[in-house]
Chains A and B, each alone.
Chain A
């Protein structure tokens, strides 16, 4: 009797017709990840994403390094949001050591972060259009993004690894003079104009709208249950943006962009509409840039317990933690936003045509390489 009861209570296992494995090398996926699509008549019934092929163990490498070296190493975690990583690792150390940062340095850090958000969102939109098969829009976005990349190079001296934030402020070469401020303003005018034109054409294109509307739907409840973060969460109608809780963003006015449908269209629109908000923040920061020093050098190193910091980066919530001992890192944890969004990506694939599955993954703006470098996921 008991045995029957147990048998009856066992959940019925979903019978899957066919599996289509993609990756770890696939032309539509820029990064190395593996997705197993369980399909019936080309409709995805379930999906499973596996990452971990690019593991570098950055957290373990950082242990034992002087904190300044560890900070520069965090920048190597991601090629797209490198500034976010170094900024957050510096923020953790500053928080742990009680270092005051000059206001001018705070403003320049914000400018860097928002420039990075601009180029990350434009890269996302370009990649999304490439997966859609619309090469012209993709090329157009790369062309607009180039202006932002040049601004980042002007400030940081490099197009990928800027190394702007250091303990107590920013590097001297990243300080802004009048010529640089003028170039930033001109760049923002250009990007704002071109992106508004792009958005207008994008939204009014019936073929694009047909491909992205109602595809890869992630419901609000699912997004919250799966702990999605960043624009992926906001595309489901949840108005959460950590920037509103960060004291670094207190001087700036901006809106939190949300969409309600949770599909590819909503995800794309959230990013498109976040671009003018980022420009708004940059304009405010440049206009009200305080005078004064950019680095506070009067601080001392001492042992600290585990200190944590969360910031809002282009893809969502980024977590860093440090514990310091004799000026070196004793403990370090990095959690990139994509790790939180993997569940959302799998969920978004369900119900899609197999051709739209990559699109459903890409809509969550994955950055598996940076996720891989820091951590390795092992299923038990």
Chain B
């Protein structure tokens, strides 16, 4: 590899990251304005508002320190989330395939796991003002149970994040395993090469099952309705994200849009054999897949209530079973 080739590779990586940013800021707007608002027969926000203008607005807001035992770490977590998401994207870029160990499914799964664990950290590090003890008459005058230890609503979120990590992430990992089983390799490069030779994984029975399972795993990872028990507004409201303000909330918004794009790109890499690469016209296919995922997610969310664990466990079990069937089919 010459210096020029290396330079082109670096520029391609940077270019792809820029494309990811540019596309991701429009995705929340597409989700809310073009799909959900249309389904709900309302005007909805401007297309640029949820993903682009809202983060810009929050960047210029006054910084408010969260009610947290470690506010600096708590505020740093969304930024860490963005960095992890960017690493996820870099793993699947063809320019980085020479770093063989780094660009494997193992690294992919590990980074996704860190992304999930961040919510648990956020929950344990946040104690919102909504749960702060207030001097209410019921505490001093004839309350039913006056001296009960109090729990913060973020602690509930943290426990739910733990359950999601333990159980809710089964579908996405099962789905990722299907192309691995078909290609017989854990390296992204081999999975892409296998599909260039044999056609996309998606066009097989195992691939179809895997795509369905991946899509639900994608929704669970994004905490999107109906799988948003982590931040259901019926009790924990925004959950671990509640205390983020000013630029830190902007990071949360950016992180979500970016994660949608990256997860869609992971799908197109593993199931279609199209990694995100600015040097190829196929980057347009990545964007199309991203839009398809965003639109499908918005439609499913618009027609779903939020699941509690009573519904969540059987649904995830059913989807995981489908994933297992997909893996079995991949060996046939």
Contact = CB atoms under 8 A, between A and B. Distances in A.
Given A18-B150, A134-B304, 5 more contacts: A20-B153, A36-B144, A133-B225, A139-B42, A355-B308
A27 B237 contact: yes
B83 interface: no
Contact of B144 (A46, A132, A140): A46
A136 B302 contact: yes
A133 B232 contact: yes
B43 to A, nearest CB: 11
Contacts of A353: 308-310
Point out which of A17, A46, A134 has the most chain B C-beta atoms below 10 A from its C-beta.
A134
A358 B307 CA distance: 14
B197 interface: no
Interface stretch (B135-143, B248-256, B320-328): B135-143
A301 interface: no
Given A38-B145, A50-B137, A133-B304, A355 B39 contact: no
Interface centre among B133, B142, B303 (most CB of A within 10 A): B303
A22 B235 contact: yes
A149 interface: no
Interface string A252-287: 000000000000000000000000000000000000
A34 B138 contact: yes
A355 B156 CA distance: 10
Interface in A134-157: 134-136, 139-140, 143
A52 to B, nearest CB: 8
Q: Which 9 A-B pairs have the closest CB atoms?
A: A133-B306, A139-B40, A19-B148, A132-B305, A379-B142, A134-B305, A18-B151, A358-B234, A133-B305
Nearest to B153: A20
Given A18-B149, A26-B130, A136-B302, A211 B138 contact: no
Given A38-B148, A354-B156, A28 B235 contact: yes
Residue of B137, B141, B145, B309 ringed by the most chain A CB atoms within 10 A: B145
A139 B39 CA distance: 10
A14 interface: yes
B235 A380 contact: no
B151 A20 contact: yes
B305 A211 contact: yes
Q: Which of A18, A132, A355 gathers the greatest number of chain B CB atoms within 10 Å? A: A355
A209 B309 CA distance: 15
A357 B148 CA distance: 19
A28 B233 CA distance: 6
Contacts of A36: 138, 143-145
Contact of A355 (B130, B133, B234): B234
Contacts, number: 130
A207 B148 contact: no
Given A19-B148, A355-B306, A359-B234, A25 B130 contact: yes
Given A19-B150, A20-B150, A42-B156, A48 B144 contact: yes
29 contacts: A16-B148, A18-B150, A20-B153, A21-B150, A27-B237, A28-B235, A28-B237, A50-B137, A50-B138, A133-B226, A133-B232, A133-B305, A134-B303, A134-B304, A135-B36, A135-B40, A135-B302, A143-B41, A210-B310, A211-B306, A211-B307, A211-B308, A354-B156, A354-B235, A356-B234, A358-B235, A359-B234, A379-B137, A380-B141
Interface of A: 14, 16-22, 25-28, 34, 36, 38-39, 42, 46, 48, 50, 52, 129, 131-136, 139-140, 143, 207-208, 210-211, 353-359, 378-380
B136 A133 contact: no
A14 B306 CA distance: 31
B232 A355 contact: yes
Interface residues of B, number: 43
Interface of B: 36, 39-42, 130-131, 133-134, 136-138, 141-145, 148-151, 153, 156, 159, 225-226, 228-229, 232-235, 237, 302-311
Nearest to B141: A379
A133 B150 CA distance: 26
B233 A133 contact: yes
Nearest to A138: B40
B303 A28 contact: no
A281 B283 CA distance: 62
A250 to B, nearest CB: 40
Nearest to A352: B308
A356 B308 CA distance: 8
Given A26-B237, A210-B311, A136 B40 contact: yes
Contacts of B306: 132-133, 211, 355
A156 B229 CA distance: 43
A143 B42 CA distance: 9
B87 to A, nearest CB: 32
A67 to B, nearest CB: 34
Given A34-B136, A139-B40, A357-B235, A20 B145 contact: no
B308 A39 contact: no
A263 to B, nearest CB: 13
A208 B308 CA distance: 11
Contacts of B41: 139-140, 143
